[in-house]
Amino acid sequence: MVKTVLIAFIIIGVLDARENPFFPSDGEKDIPYTTNETAVVLPLIKTTIALPPQARVLQGVTIQYKNLDGSQENKTIQLENSVDWHKPIFISQNYISNDNNKTQEESVKKDPEKKETAKIEEHVAKNGDKYQKIASFEYASFYSSEKYFKIVTNDKIIRNFLLVQPHRIVIDFKSSKGIKFYEQNITENVFTKIRVGNHDGYYRVVIELDGYYRYNVKNIDDSYIFQLL
């Protein structure tokens, strides 16, 4: 009996030395939870993000990622770069540099205030031969080059403005001539449709667009050049 009581006291003393052997004692560090389960995660090759039509400036990029211990975090880089919403944003770990990227970067460093689109006069001087004729009627011809739209006519603009649903530029030309209704659909172009209608003392040209834009307009010689922004 005495022997049994003595063994019991020894066991109790051992337990007091460590309240719970399955938890770390003072001074020991917790090891983050992990698992030996093998999850099938495909490597990142390349993916894209499409921007909405009203996007013009990329201000930042946020990436959400998972750590080895299963926790999740975000990393954000701040940017301030103009973008063309027609082109997707690529996400990839395979980056290939080229001379065009270097040239553009050097140009921006030399002139930080340089805008993505050149002045209309500069564009016409450099790309005047790249305009494609997309429509015409008796008193005007219409041409396009990327985000530039040219109207060649002897008539004068009396007003121009922007309307939505659909997004379109409305241009009124002073004229007393009788103009027949004209309409032309355009494929694979940011300028999707041209409509011309007659009014009292003027005729109206409506240029439908493929998205949301602002614009500038400049009268050069016998043409009016519209630049989408």
pLDDT (tens, 9 = 90+) of the chain, 229 residues, equals: 555 555 555 555 555 554 444 444 444 444 444 444 555 777 887 888 999 988 989 999 999 999 877 899 999 999 899 888 888 998 887 765 555 555 555 554 554 434 533 568 777 878 777 899 999 999 999 999 999 999 999 999 999 999 988 999 999 999 988 888 999 999 999 999 999 999 999 999 999 999 999 999 999 888 999 999 8
**pLDDT of the residue at 92:** 85
Residue 146: inside a domain: yes
Instruction: State the pLDDT at residue 22.
Output: 42
How many domains, the chain? 1
Domain boundaries, position 212? 120-228
Q: For residue 105, which phi and psi values (nearest 5 degrees)? A: -65, -45
Name the nearest CA neighbour of 93 among 72, 63, 52.
63
Looking at the domain assignment, is residue 68 inside a domain?
A: no
Q: What is the pLDDT of residue 39?
A: 59
Give the integer Cα–Cα distance in Å for 207 and 213: 12
User: Does 83 reside within a domain?
Assistant: no
Q: What is the DSSP string of 138-202?
A: TTEEEEEETTEEEEE-SSPEEEEEEETTTTEEEEEEE--S----EEEE-SSSSEEEEEEEEETTE
Q: How far apart are the first and last CA of the chain?
A: 98
In this prediction, residue 23 carries a pLDDT of 44
pLDDT of residue 137: 93
54: helix, strand or coil? coil
Whether 126 maps to a domain, the answer reads yes
The CATH number covering residue 141 comes to: 2.60.40.3500
Closest Cα partner for 195 from 221, 175, 166, 155? 166
Question: So what's the pLDDT on residue 136?
Answer: 94
pLDDT for 116: 37
